[in-house]
Amino acid sequence: MTRFRFTTAGESHGPALAAIVEGLPAGVPVSAEEIDRELRRRQGGYGRGGRMRIESDRAEILSGVRHGETLGSPVTLLVRNRDWANWTAAMSAAPVENEGDDEAMRRVFLPRPGHADLVGSLKYDRTDARDILERASARETAARVAAGALAKRLLAEAGITVGSHVVSIGGIVAGRPDEMPEDLNAASDPSPVRCLDAEAEGRMIDAIDAAKRAGDTLGGVVEVVARGVPAGLGSHVSWDRKVDGRLAGALMSVQAIKGVEIGLGFEAAMRPGSRVHDAIRLDDALERGGGYGRAGNNAGGLEGGITTGQPVIVRAAMKPISTLMQPLETVDLRTGERAEAVRERSDVCAVPAAGVVAEAMVAMVLADALLEKVGGDSLAEVRRNLDGYLERIRERGVFAGA
């Protein structure tokens, strides 16, 4: 990310998470309430564990916003961990007296297969895997969602919306609606698993209950849809400017994500080209496609690393959470003895929340690509540049049709 950048900091049970967001133009309306709405969406979903009953995530805006509008300067967001109150000694930045008390320090010597516990401990030369898992925890995604809310606001001001829904949980696959709802989140958010198929929703909930009883966890697939994306974001000219690669990288960086598909995805590899590629026609209906439309959208709104003007459709596959109440075999980091992995409080399934996190990541990649295309130091300038560009490609479409 070059134009819109963000970084996060903070441990899962430290005092707070923070995000610094750079590159927002001046004049973007921003409110803590709007960010908090996104944070609440991330906290929800059937299958979450005890932590979400402790937290009620709220963003404090520490810089970059004045009287409800961005200044163009870096925006700092802080999300406090309420659970910190229970961890002040175990996670103290300063040395504490009872450091030798492994239990009080909540030290972890039994790394969980699938988590960063073992590899992080090797790489950073730590014996207490708590030094690793605190940052590897998906709690960090709260900061991403807060930052993503700013990107979403910028995109909304430019006519671009980003929503998501759950495609599958634990192997139960939702039926696909004939047409995606225009306001995707309005349709998916009321579902406890953020699923558009009511019949599959019931089976997903049963599967989560069964996994919980068995001390197990479940993964799944989420889909993000971005609408109103103009044709021409990203570029074919260099590998690191392709929007599909940037989306895949951004989504794969989310905790527990193991795969990303765009449009038809892996299915495209099974079909002949005639049943994959989306025929081109002159079509005014695709408002931001420059007067060109398509017979379908198997490409997921991306060709040659450039957006086509059709909805951008990306799916991410989340593995099951690696903290199991019926733990797998592991090795004690102190003694090398065979042991059972640590049981920590955790979620049974966080797939519905992963959709919200995926929206944030997609929004930040698209905000970056939008600013790269049209530039602008103020929101008004971004809009003017975007309108000028859209007019130019529309003229071309009209010309081709004449």
Interacting residue ranges for ligand EPS, rule: CB under 6 A: 12, 49, 51, 83, 115, 137-139, 141-142, 321-323, 344-347
Q: Which of 197, 191, 192, 162 is nearest to 176 (CA)?
A: 197
Give CA–CA dist 154/355, Å, rounded. 20
Shortest Å, Cβ 50 to ligand EPS: 7
Give CA–CA dist 159/371, Å, rounded. 14
Shortest Å, Cβ 99 to ligand EPS: 21
Q: Hey, what are 143's tokens?
A: 């900061």
Residue (49 or 304) nearer to ligand EPS, CB: 49
Residue type, 235: S
Rg (CA), the chain: 22
Residue (303 or 347) nearer to ligand EPS, CB: 347
Residue (310 or 323) nearer to ligand EPS, CB: 323
Residue (16 or 71) nearer to ligand EPS, CB: 16
Q: Which of 127, 65, 338, 351 is nearest to 223 (CA)?
A: 351
From residue 75, alpha-carbon distances to 66, 146, 309 in Å are 10, 11, 30
Give CA–CA dist 317/167, Å, rounded. 10
Residue (3 or 139) nearer to ligand EPS, CB: 139
Residue (138 or 180) nearer to ligand EPS, CB: 138
Residue (79 or 221) nearer to ligand EPS, CB: 79
Shortest Å, Cβ 402 to ligand EPS: 55
Residue (34 or 83) nearer to ligand EPS, CB: 83
Shortest Å, Cβ 201 to ligand EPS: 21
Shortest Å, Cβ 347 to ligand EPS: 5
DSSP-derived secondary structure for 209-222? HHHHHTT----EEE
Which H or E run contains 204? helix 198-213
Residue (218 or 379) nearer to ligand EPS, CB: 218
Shortest Å, Cβ 318 to ligand EPS: 11
Q: Which of 324, 326, 323, 330 is nearest to 110 (CA)?
A: 330
Beta strand spans in 15-140 (E)? 16-22, 59-63, 65-66, 69-70, 75-80
Shortest Å, Cβ 321 to ligand EPS: 5
Q: 283-302: buried (b, 16+ CB within 10 Å) or exposed (e) per residue?
A: eeebebbbbbbbeebbbbbb
Residue (344 or 368) nearer to ligand EPS, CB: 344
Answer for the pair 89, 104: CB distance below 8 angstroms, yes or no. yes
DSSP at 72:
S
User: Which residues are registered as beta bridge partners of 257?
Assistant: 318
Shortest Å, Cβ 38 to ligand EPS: 13
Answer for the pair 122, 114: CB distance below 8 angstroms, yes or no. no
Q: Hey, what are 128's tokens?
A: 């207490």
Shortest Å, Cβ 356 to ligand EPS: 10
Q: Which of 5, 6, 24, 22 is nearest to 376 (CA)?
A: 24
SS3 302: strand
Shortest Å, Cβ 75 to ligand EPS: 21
